[in-house]
């Protein structure tokens, strides 16, 4: 079982899930609900999640699965010897429900706590980002590279905000600092696409606190496109850095250290 074979499989199931969620939205069958009373979820989220996880279980029955909708409660540091799939069936659910095109299916494969394969498929723009650790990152099979930005003041960055609004003050303070030191902000609404856009140079930097399924695949894609990735707060001992989503920063190498300093100050 080579990583290329796993990547081919991941791309296939991501594209199939993408077709499913396109049909569900285009067919006016969209049904919505809420998780924890605040986070929007659609029937298509669950359908796509089940489709992806069923395909993985059929082909790799001994592997573990961490998925946003059907298997979200795994301790990431447990059983690192067993391969792990990290799935987000619809990253950008609010965009999806409102008819915006910035929506992605994210599929990552990890082993020994390290992400080895990442696929992010945007079905409404028909863009598929893909990477294998140690190999180049691609967009629709063409190599991609970060922007090469060197000046934070000329840099375009992206971030996002949690569904819960009880602790926004520090996030807004951090945002204020970034806006005053960078060119501008883009609020895209999909962490996976934010990071992939850093990978292909449409953005220069991205920071946020998110769940593993939001960023695991895209982070590898950005790294293989030459971007830098890390955290502006400590990663707890024993936690796989590839899957720790608190205070992540992904940026072009030439602005990474400067932006890290800005974020770490707040």
CATH number at 27 reads 3.30.540.10
Listed residues 88, 121, 143: the one ending a domain: 143
Residues 12 and 35 in one domain: yes
Residues 221 and 123 in one domain: no
Is 90 known to sit in a ligand binding site? Answer: yes
Residues 53 and 161 in one domain: no
Query: Domain span at residue 15?
Result: 3-143
Helices vs. strands in the chain: H and E counts, helices first: 7, 14
Listed residues 143, 168, 190: the one ending a domain: 143
Residues 119 and 183 in one domain: no
Residues 51 and 158 in one domain: no
Residues 43 and 26 in one domain: yes
Determine the pLDDT at residue 37. 43
Q: How many residues does the chain have?
A: 266
Listed residues 81, 113, 143: the one ending a domain: 143
Residues 126 and 164 in one domain: no
Residues 134 and 18 in one domain: yes
Nearest to 237 by CA among 74, 77, 73: 77
Nearest to 215 by CA among 151, 95, 149, 129: 129
Determine the pLDDT at residue 38. 42
Determine the pLDDT at residue 90. 95
Nearest to 97 by CA among 52, 31, 189: 31
Is 45 known to sit in a ligand binding site? Answer: no
- pLDDT tens string, the chain, 266 residues long: the values are 799 999 999 999 999 999 999 988 875 555 555 454 445 567 888 899 999 999 999 999 999 999 987 776 666 667 788 999 999 999 999 999 889 999 999 999 999 999 999 999 999 999 999 999 999 899 999 999 999 999 999 999 999 998 777 788 999 999 999 999 999 999 999 999 999 999 999 999 999 999 999 999 999 999 999 999 999 999 999 899 999 999 999 999 999 999 999 999 75
Is 214 known to sit in a ligand binding site? Answer: yes
Which residues, 6+ apart, have CB-to-CB distance to 16 below 8 Å? Answer: 51, 55
Crossing angle between the packed helical segments 191-199 and 212-224, to the nearest 10 degrees: 0
Element holding 194 (H helix, E strand): helix 191-199
Asked if 145 and 225 count as a contact pair (C-beta separation under 8 A), the reply is yes
Residues 8 and 134 in one domain: yes
Number of domains in the chain: 2
Which residues, 6+ apart, have CB-to-CB distance to 186 below 8 Å? Answer: 156, 157, 158, 203
Residues 129 and 196 in one domain: no
Q: State both tokens at 4.
A: 């290329």
Query: What 3-state DSSP class applies to 241?
Result: helix
CATH number where 188 lies? 3.40.190.80
pTM reported for the whole predicted model = 0.94
Determine the pLDDT at residue 40. 58
Is 78 known to sit in a ligand binding site? Answer: no
Nearest to 146 by CA among 52, 19, 55, 254: 254
SS (H, E, C) 4-73: HHHHHHHHHHHHHHHHHHHHHHHCCCCCEEEECCCEEEEHHHHHHHHHHHHHHHHHCCCCEEEECCCECC
């Amino acid at each position: 079982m080579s990583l290329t074979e796993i990547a081919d499989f991941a791309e296939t199931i991501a594209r199939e899930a993408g077709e499913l969620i396109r049909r569900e939205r285009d067919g006016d069958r969209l049904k919505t609900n809420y998780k924890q009373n605040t986070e929007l979820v659609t029937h298509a989220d669950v359908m796509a999640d089940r489709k992806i996880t069923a395909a993985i279980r059929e082909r790799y029955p001994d592997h573990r699965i961490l998925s946003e909708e059907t298997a979200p409660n795994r301790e990431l540091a447990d059983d690192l010897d067993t391969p792990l799939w990290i799935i987000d069936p619809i990253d950008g659910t609010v965009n999806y429900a409102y008819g915006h095109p910035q929506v992605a299916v994210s599929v990552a494969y990890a082993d020994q706590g390290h992400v080895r394969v990442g696929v992010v498929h945007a079905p409404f723009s028909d863009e598929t980002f893909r990477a294998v650790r140690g190999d180049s990152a691609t967009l629709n099979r063409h190599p991609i590279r970060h922007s090469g930005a060197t000046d934070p003041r000329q840099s375009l960055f992206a971030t996002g905000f949690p569904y819960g609004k009880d602790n926004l003050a520090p996030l807004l303070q951090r945002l204020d600092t970034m806006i005053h030191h960078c060119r501008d902000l883009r609020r895209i609404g999909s962490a996976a696409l934010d990071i992939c856009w850093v990978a292909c140079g449409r953005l220069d930097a991205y920071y946020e606190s998110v769940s593993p399924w939001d960023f695991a695949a895209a982070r590898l894609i950005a790294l293989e496109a030459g971007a830098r990735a890390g955290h502006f707060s400590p990663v707890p001992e024993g936690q796989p850095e590839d899957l720790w989503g608190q205070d992540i920063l992904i940026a072009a190498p030439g602005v990474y250290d400067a932006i890290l300093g800005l974020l770490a100050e707040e």
